[in-house]
Chains A and B, each alone.
Chain A
């Protein structure tokens, strides 16, 4: 027993000596990367990559302080540090950065991965391959496409949150609900899209917002999400704007809220749907595959600019014209996807799952067949009510 105790007593100092020799790292030694931007250098050197990092620099005040004493009491907000690094491979670019970084570059808490338009057009498969291999990055990292140049993005400043990455992250996190003009895409969706035959990747794209009215200081330019970037395999082929994104998300089943405005005799009517059901059907006629989307919308009349007594028959006719409007809009979005050659809607996957034998032939040259596939949209828009008001307000003095 005494021997056992002695051995135990000897173990304690031995434990302390090599304590944490392997990978112990203090939290304050980590450089927390919030966002990585992959791009191409402006010089036109095609073999080079540019990797930019948006990181949080902890405030020197140390966050909250209990003491209210003058020098220490001020809590400084965290600031960001953005930096770019170049290399012939992505790994080299990151390595170069970690050499000059005063702290250990820590990617495990990265939240947003961005691809610059230029690189995305050339293909992102190498970058995605690197990200999937890297130990730090997570499949749940959001992916954004940067329309325009990275330097412009890096100089623009966040409007509300402390850092740009934090602001974009918060915007993406709160995306579901109102309007559904964008939907976050993550590394998982991108990787699946690149690897799956019959399904193409997509991701929201951001743009540095600059209007003529905006202040001339470029540092004050906000960044906003404009819509969705569509890929053909791993290459960026084009963009959908906010309206088209709403239709696109509806067809993908990712969104169930949105608006349609119609005009009747030059007066406007606004309709908001809050329930949407999409049924996808596949029919084969004479060896030709037709895909049809049966969409049922249920919503309210939000705003009416003309007088109507809203009788049953009138509502039925409004429903009809709303359906027609929605059909046209949705078809427009589908045609836009077809034009761009991107199958982000997953038409190929649909054929694969419903008619595997047909897909066997199609899969060999799907991208040439895809534009020829007949796609039909049937919308049934239902007006469930007229929101809180019933009849529209009529001014006392008519025009």
Chain B
């Protein structure tokens, strides 16, 4: 049954690609116009107009473009005006094409296209198409002029000190943002297309000579394997190229910051850029990324190291604290200082639910609040947070449904989860606390230890494009620890990460620090 359904879907999806039937232009202009109009039938944004060009305006031509995709001012000044007003010097011989191409059109990118298929795809990506009477070819003049967002500060990875620019939706701008930081001929952008229908542009960026050996080929292989109509989000792409699909962790991570992306390039990693998405995907990724923030490199190494250790503590709090609280307070009362036990048991006096259930409900309601918070329209946001914080939180304590210590634990967990700088990391860890909580409620501390060990085994077995996910912890590389839980002064980081830059490890020459 499934086979049948799959087969049916396949044939349907192929239909769209077959819509453009004609492979070649004919000599007849009207037929060519009809052909393009047929393919783009029922597209109300298709604009077309006939024009006359050449000496004495004798030659008929036709122009197609999509409304909103092209810059109309640019079109008028650089396409229509020269064509309609200037003299090509030829009445219609084979030289006319050259004349138009070489001296009439001041636009940057002008191509002669031989097939209607390609012409349509150029129209769809923001070109002006011009078909001239009596020619088996057409002109595609690039005049992209759609509305887009300017380069703004990154929303997901904000820093106090650091570059303010963030990636935008336009892949060309993103490329330029990277290029501006690395002005080096060996910085390569290789182009691929993804999606039969969406035809999304995907770029692989890397620095030749530094990039991990075989990485680019492997990325290309994995992307080429994907057979899909369209990729609606870069997360889908991430998932489709991940090594372990079923893991809770992404084996690549995305960043919105060009500076971060560039430092990854210099470490021997590769970037995957995707058109229409203001994020680039970094591969291979490792556990070190959970603790690194762009901020670290603009603050002094002591401060940066302290912050990293804080993030490590924050990560552990996120995953373990609710579980530890439940385990210790329902199984291991011996471990608690007497005064603390007394105050907690006093606070829990006459509460209806066991501590495990209480924590489970509170943690779930925190997730509900968080999820609702993402979607709240801004005007009601404040009202809802008051309801969430005051009414639910305080009233629940006053009504003796939950105890104040549990609220503290939940709040601490929520805050700690935001110390992890990359969303991929914090999302995974936020979820991991539920299995840990479950294990703690069922088995106490042995349960937590088992859950933790299972997580470690999973992490240690995972790879991202051949690089062990837990490196530099396991396998152990001392030199990579310089930029992991602590950050040593920049002048001491003379080497690139061993796993990603195997062949070109040296990053700094032997030089003496300033003042020496």
- CA A58 – CA B343 in complex, angstroms? 9
> Do B442 and A63 touch across chains, with their CB atoms under 8 A apart?
no
- Chain A, interface size category, equals 20 to 34
Within 444-494 of B, Cβ neighbours of A (below 8 Å) are at: 444
Question: Do A63 and B346 touch (CB < 8 A)?
Answer: yes
B350 at the interface (CB under 8 A from A): yes
Once A26-B354, A32-B341, A62-B349 are accepted as A-B contacts, the answer to whether A20 and B438 lie under 8 Å apart by CB is: no
A11 to chain B, nearest CB (A): 9
Q: Is the interface of A mostly helix, strand, loop or mixed?
A: loop
Q: Which residues of B contact A72 (CB under 8 A)?
A: 398
User: Does B394 reach chain A (CB closer than 8 Å)?
Assistant: yes
Tell me the smallest distance from the CB of B180 to a CB of chain A, in Å. 44
In the complex, chain B residues 327-345 whose Cβ is within 8 Å of any chain A Cβ: 329-331, 333-334, 338, 341-345
- A66/B404 in contact, CB under 8 A: yes
Considering the complex, which residues of chain B in the window 304-360 have a beta carbon less than 8 Å from any beta carbon of chain A?
Answer: 329-331, 333-334, 338, 341-351, 354-356
Chain A 20-73 residues near chain B, CB threshold 8 A: 20, 23-28, 30, 32, 56, 58-60, 62-67, 69, 72
Residues from chain B with a CB closer than 8 A to the CB of A18 are 442
A109 at the interface (CB under 8 A from B): yes
Counting CB contacts under 8 A, is A247 at the interface?
no
The complex places the Cα of A178 from the Cα of B287 at a distance, in Å, of: 55
Contact B343 A20 (CB under 8 A): no
Docked CA distance A62–B404 (Å): 10
Question: What's the minimum C-beta distance from B320 to chain A, rounded to whole angstroms?
Answer: 18
| Contact A62–B333 (Cβ < 8 Å) | no
Decide if B187 is an interface residue (CB 8 Å cutoff).
Answer: no
Across the interface, B338 reaches (CB within 8 A) one of A12, A23, A24, A109, namely A109
Given the interface contacts A23-B331, A24-B331, A106-B333, does A62 sit within 8 Å of B356 by beta carbon?
no
Within 8 A of B (CB), among A111-158: 111
Contact partner of B441 (CB less than 8 A), chosen from A20, A78, A111, is: A20
Interface pair B355/A27, CB less than 8 Å apart = yes
Output the nearest chain B residue to A19 by Cβ-Cβ distance.
B442
Beta-carbon contact of A20 and B356 below 8 Å: yes
Tell me if A373 counts as interface (CB < 8 A to partner B). no
Cα distance A218–B212 in the bound complex, in angstroms: 85
Note all chain A residues with C-beta closer than 8 A to B346: 58-59, 62-63, 78
A-B contact count (CB 8 A): 96
Q: How far is the CA of A384 from the CA of B349 in the complex (A)?
A: 57
B-side interface size class:
20 to 34
Q: How far is the CA of A58 from the CA of B442 in the complex (A)?
A: 27
A284 interface contact, C-beta 8 A = no
CA–CA, A19 and B397, complex, Å: 25
| Closest residue of B by beta carbon distance from A31 | B345
B289 contacts chain A at the CB level, 8 A cutoff = no
**B349 A32 Cβ-Cβ under 8 A:** no
Q: How far, in angstroms, from A18 to B443 measured CA to CA in the complex?
A: 10
CB atoms of A15 and B438 under 8 A apart: yes
B400 adjacent to chain A (CB < 8 Å): yes
A16 at the interface (CB under 8 A from B): yes
| Residue in B338, B349, B398, B444 whose CB lies within 8 Å of A66 | B398
Q: Which residue of A lies closest to B355 (CB)?
A: A26
Contacting pair A16 B438 (CB below 8 A): yes
- Distance (Å) between the CB of B125 and the closest chain A CB? 39
Question: CB-nearest residue of chain B relative to A111?
Answer: B338
The answer to the question of B282 belonging to the interface, with a C-beta cut-off of 8 Å to chain A, is no
Distance between Cα atoms of A23 and B341 in the complex (Å)? 17
Q: Given the complex of chains A and B, what is the CA–CA distance between A24 and B346 in angstroms? A: 18
State whether the Cβ of B246 lies closer than 8 Å to any Cβ in chain A.
yes
- Residues in chain B near residue A23, CB distance under 8 A: 331
Task: Give the chain B neighbours of A59 by CB distance below 8 A.
Answer: 346, 349
B352 to chain A, nearest CB (A): 11
Task: Give the complex CA separation of A12 and B442 in angstroms.
Answer: 10
Q: Among the listed A27, A60, A64, which residue makes an inter-chain contact with B333, where contact means beta carbons less than 8 Å apart? A: A27
Residue B439, interface by CB 8 Å: yes
Check B442–A20 contact: CB distance below 8 A.
Answer: yes
Q: Are B398 and A67 in contact (CB under 8 A)?
A: yes
Nearest residue (CB) in B for A109 is B338
Question: What are the residues of chain A within 8 A of B330 when measuring CB–CB?
Answer: 20, 24-27
Known contacts A16-B438, A20-B356, A106-B333; decide if A28 and B342 are in contact (CB<8 Å).
no
Report the minimum CB–CB distance from B430 to chain A (whole Å): 18
Known interface pairs A12-B438, A62-B350, A64-B404; A108-B345 also in contact (CB < 8 Å)? no
Known: A1-B246, A20-B441. 17 other contacts (CB 8 A): A12-B438, A15-B439, A15-B441, A19-B441, A20-B356, A24-B354, A27-B329, A27-B333, A32-B338, A32-B341, A59-B349, A62-B346, A65-B397, A66-B397, A72-B398, A78-B342, A109-B333
A-B contact pairs, 18 of them (CB 8 A): A1-B246, A15-B438, A15-B442, A16-B441, A20-B331, A27-B330, A27-B355, A28-B348, A59-B349, A62-B346, A62-B347, A63-B349, A66-B398, A66-B404, A67-B394, A106-B333, A109-B341, A111-B338
The 9 residue pairs across chains A and B that have the minimum distance between CB atoms = A63-B346, A27-B345, A58-B346, A108-B334, A15-B442, A19-B442, A28-B348, A67-B398, A109-B338
**Which residues of A are at the interface with B, using a C-beta cutoff of 8 A?**
1, 5, 12, 15-16, 18-20, 23-28, 30, 32, 56, 58-60, 62-67, 69, 72, 78, 106, 108-109, 111
